[in-house]
Copies of this chain bind each other. A is one copy, B any other.
Amino acid sequence: MQNATLSFSEISQSLGPLIDAALDARTQLGEGCPARLREAMRYSLLAPGKRIRPLLALLAAQACGGSVEEAMPAACAVEMIHAYSLIHDDLPAMDDDDLRRGQPTCHKAFDEATAILAGDALLPLAFEILAGEITPPEVAVACCSKLAKAAGACNMAGGQADDVGNEGRGATASAAGEISDIDLLESIHHRKTGAMIECALQLGAIVAAADKREMEALEQFGRRLGMAFQITDDLLDEQSTEAEMGKRTGKDARRGKLTFPYILGLDRSRQYARQLVAEACEALAGFGPDAEGLRSLARFVLERNH
């Protein structure tokens, strides 16, 4: 027996404003914070976004019998890490992007130094929130530990380093006629995107005092969802317009980046994403209707057009 299915847009409409209010409240930043730095942090953090990661934290907590309220600090922390990573990824020395979430990137709207520092300040703020708001202490410590690993050199930062270092590899592979390395691509994306998606789910589960079986199921769910999300991102980059995406599109191909469409072609990429989402939902079989939100979010990944 399951509840009537909530669509992603219904979930997003009900939880999105709560997330945005929570992010807003935690970035008022009092004495000592330069106004321009605060403005830059809030400009990028509060820009219209899908809030996938905070939603995953909240929905995972719900799936494990917890509440939105107790998972909100974790939701804010993962969105801050995500926002910081977007700001730094967009820098001229990295992906050099001008448009993000439908508005000029942080270094374009402000300047490069301010953008670097806005990212640098969002990162510790995530830990300040986890350490300052989550109780009991052993749960806060577990959250800090998970988030630190997910953002670190072996995961998000490392994935981005390999992704930047990997530019031109698609074109090279093509020119040399060699078989492209889907394992490399999956490894990059698992670290760059997947680790934080899994982390969002784990933090939600940890604050809801999930048991080992629930944690493992969410790990399976997150791993597949993260990869599906990246595949649809690659597909959208190739097929959407800038106006739809709110960021520059077609750039992967221009830069000769390894992508799923490049390796598998469009049809097999779509099929692979569908398979991953199906497997992700199967991983939630042990959960009842409380996990319906996570299932809706997984289905949305296939349908999204931005």
Using CB atoms, name the residue of chain B closest to A152: B124
Q: How extensive is the interface on chain A, given as a class? A: 35 or more
Residue A224 lies at the interface, judged by CB distance under 8 Å to chain B: no
Q: Among B140, B145, B161, which residue has its beta carbon within 8 angstroms of that of A132? A: B145
Question: In whole angstroms, what is the CA distance A128 to B88 when docked?
Answer: 21
Whether the pair B158, A34 counts as a contact (CB closer than 8 A) is yes
> Interface on chain A toward B: helix, strand, loop, or mixed SS?
helix
Q: Name the B residues within 8 Å of A36 (CB-CB).
A: 161, 165
Q: Which of A54-62, A111-119, A239-247, A252-260 is the interface stretch?
A: A111-119
Q: Among B37, B127, B187, which residue has its beta carbon within 8 angstroms of that of A153? A: B37
Contact A137 to B141, CB < 8 A, known contacts A33-B153, A120-B157, A165-B36: yes
Question: In whole angstroms, what is the CA distance A49 to B89 when docked?
Answer: 30
Whether the pair A153, B130 counts as a contact (CB closer than 8 A) is no
Whether the pair B140, A124 counts as a contact (CB closer than 8 A) is no
Residue A210 lies at the interface, judged by CB distance under 8 Å to chain B: no
Residue A121 lies at the interface, judged by CB distance under 8 Å to chain B: yes
Q: Name the B residues within 8 Å of A303 (CB-CB).
A: none
Residue A94 lies at the interface, judged by CB distance under 8 Å to chain B: yes
Residue A162 lies at the interface, judged by CB distance under 8 Å to chain B: yes
Whether the pair B32, A117 counts as a contact (CB closer than 8 A) is no
Q: Name the B residues within 8 Å of A33 (CB-CB).
A: 153-154, 158
Q: Name the B residues within 8 Å of A88 (CB-CB).
A: 116-117, 120
Question: Which residues on A are within 8 Å of B, measured CB to CB?
Answer: 29-34, 36-38, 41, 84, 88, 91, 93-94, 111-114, 116-117, 119-121, 123-125, 127-128, 130-132, 136-138, 140-142, 144-145, 147-149, 151-155, 157-162, 164-165, 187, 191
16 contacts between A and B (CB under 8 A): A32-B159, A34-B165, A37-B153, A37-B157, A93-B113, A113-B164, A117-B161, A120-B151, A124-B152, A124-B157, A127-B147, A131-B145, A131-B148, A132-B145, A141-B144, A144-B144
The 5 nearest A-B residue pairs measured at CB: A32-B154, A93-B112, A128-B148, A121-B153, A137-B137
